[in-house]
Amino acid sequence: MSERIIIRGGRVIDPASGHDGIADVLIEDGRISAVGASLDGAGAREIDARGLVVAPGFVDLHAHLRDPGLEYKEDIESGTRAAARGGFTTVCAMPNTEPAMDTRSVIEYVLREAAARASVRVLPIGAVSKGRAGKDLAELGDLAAAGCVAFSDDGAPVHDATLMRLALEYASAFDLPIIDHCEEPSLARDAVMHEGWVAARLGLRGAPAAAEESPVARDIALAATTGAHVHIAHVSTRGAVEEVRRAKARGLRVTTEVTPHHLTLTDETVAFGAGGGDELLYETNAKVNPPLRSQDDVDACVAALADGTIDCVATDHAPHAATEKLCEFDDAAFGISGLETAFGLCMRLVHAKALPLAALVERMTIGPVRALGLDRHVPGLGTLAPGAPGDVVVLDPGAEWTVEPERFASKGKNTPLGGMTLRGTVVATVAGGRVVHETGVPVG
């Protein structure tokens, strides 16, 4: 039920308009009604944001909601509650479900479930190929008509270069991008982490940076060939970032994203955990694909996010059941449950003065919207413009909190950050004019 809400006295950052200053935000009928000084909020539910930051709700281009088929890991209800806690008011759902989101009926199921149970907006991403098998194109036109905002076989790369070329060309008829999980399987055979000294020490098989960089280079070449839009999922290496930088300089339609963990954690987390130390942990919660890389790669990703080479932050939220991580490292599932720690983790960059707060907000709001052109589907998305969706987040950038995975709304408790202190909290989340999260106040 949407209500009249006024958010009073916060520092309002709306990167789309360039607004950055103290103001009130009024939300009516599920939409932004006004941003300004001393707005009339008579009868409205009031959220006191003095000393806090108010921004458009975050937009996540990359989340695994696991629904349908893998509801033991996550479902649309739990996944979107996790999103709300993390300040996200829009999540794009990846299609590696069971069955895959490769037909209109599965997309319709997702949208129906979302309408009935989701705390925040769900935008589906359709599969590129039937069954995500990498052989034959899925019915992209039907998927587009059903409401898909992009196509991806994420979890797996589109390995066949001709299929990728055809997918890019075919999807351009609907002006929708292909999101590619860039990984050359023959270079990443049996790999469970990044190749480097940590893998050498642990006796684990590593994937070289080139396993990511070579398909990135291929996709960019195909973007040039086709003129179509390719979005590189979760870049994680210096070389991949450089490829994207050059592609953008050439004016190609190439966009990209980076995860909070690739911006802040290195492969040493696999050995010693996010807190460091000497004891070998074989931390399965740090097993993720693409793998956590070297400090040099992390530095390159941070710099590229700051200079705009990387368009946005995306969580690659990948929830798993406890037993899928409580096992031998080689046998553990890939993925980090990331929606609820994304803002706190990214705030490390702001506190380290590697990225201004306003830039981080941009990379989590209008940045992802522009990357995929989501405002064509949801006008005003990622902004606080009058008439835009009533999606607003209230943040306390300096507040410390301790990550307690067992208290996540997500079913996936798989994070290497358990017990860590982060600085930066989501105080309240308003989605479509509804308060879907407020600290200290249980929201049903």
Q: Among all residues, which ones are annotated catalytic?
A: 316
Q: How many residues bind another protein (CB under 8 A)?
A: 25
SS3 state of residue 299: helix
Among 5, 204, 235, 381, binds another protein (CB under 8 A): 204
Among 149, 158, 202, 304, binds another protein (CB under 8 A): 202
Q: Is 335 in the site for another protein (CB under 8 A)?
A: no
Residues 268-307 that bind another protein (CB under 8 A): 278, 280-282, 294
Distance CA(117)–CA(97), nearest Å, equals 18
Inter-residue contact 58 to 86 (CB < 8 Å): yes
Select 225 or 323, whichever has its Cβ closest to another protein. Answer: 323
Q: Is 208 in the site for another protein (CB under 8 A)?
A: yes
Burial class (CB in 10 A: 0-12, 13-18, 19+), 318: buried
Among 206, 290, 291, 319, binds another protein (CB under 8 A): 206
Distance CA(260)–CA(302), nearest Å, equals 10
Least distance in angstroms from the C-beta of 105 to another protein: 34
Least distance in angstroms from the C-beta of 328 to another protein: 4
Q: What is the 3 state secondary structure string of 126-193? A: ECCEHHHCCCCECCHHHHHHHCCCEEECCCCCCCCHHHHHHHHHHHHCCCCCEEECCCCHHHCCCCCE
Distance CA(148)–CA(35), nearest Å, equals 31
Least distance in angstroms from the C-beta of 277 to another protein: 11
Among 133, 145, 161, 200, binds another protein (CB under 8 A): 200
∠ Cα 274 277 279 (to 5°):
105
Residues 156-195 that bind another protein (CB under 8 A): 195
User: Which residue type does 199 have?
Assistant: A
Distance CA(135)–CA(408), nearest Å, equals 38
Residues 6+ apart with CB under 8 A from 202: 193, 270, 271, 280, 282, 329
Least distance in angstroms from the C-beta of 294 to another protein: 8
Residue 407 is given by DSSP the state: G
User: Which residue type does 120 have?
Assistant: V
Select 295 or 421, whichever has its Cβ closest to another protein. Answer: 295
Q: Is 203 in the site for another protein (CB under 8 A)?
A: yes
| Cα–Cα nearest to 193, from 82, 117, 269 | 269
Among 201, 250, 376, 407, binds another protein (CB under 8 A): 201
Least distance in angstroms from the C-beta of 278 to another protein: 7
Residues 312-331 that bind another protein (CB under 8 A): 323, 326-331
Select 193 or 350, whichever has its Cβ closest to another protein. Answer: 193
Burial class (CB in 10 A: 0-12, 13-18, 19+), 1: exposed
Distance CA(267)–CA(270), nearest Å, equals 6
Q: Is 199 in the site for another protein (CB under 8 A)?
A: yes
Select 65 or 198, whichever has its Cβ closest to another protein. Answer: 198
Q: Is 265 in the site for another protein (CB under 8 A)?
A: no
β-pair partners for 88: 58
Q: Which stretch binds another protein (CB under 8 A): 53-61, 136-144, 199-207, 384-392?
A: 199-207
Select 272 or 401, whichever has its Cβ closest to another protein. Answer: 272
The 347-386 contact track toward another protein, x by CB under 8 A, reads: ----------------------------------------
Residues making contact with another protein (CB under 8 A) = 195-206, 208, 278, 280-282, 294, 323, 326-331
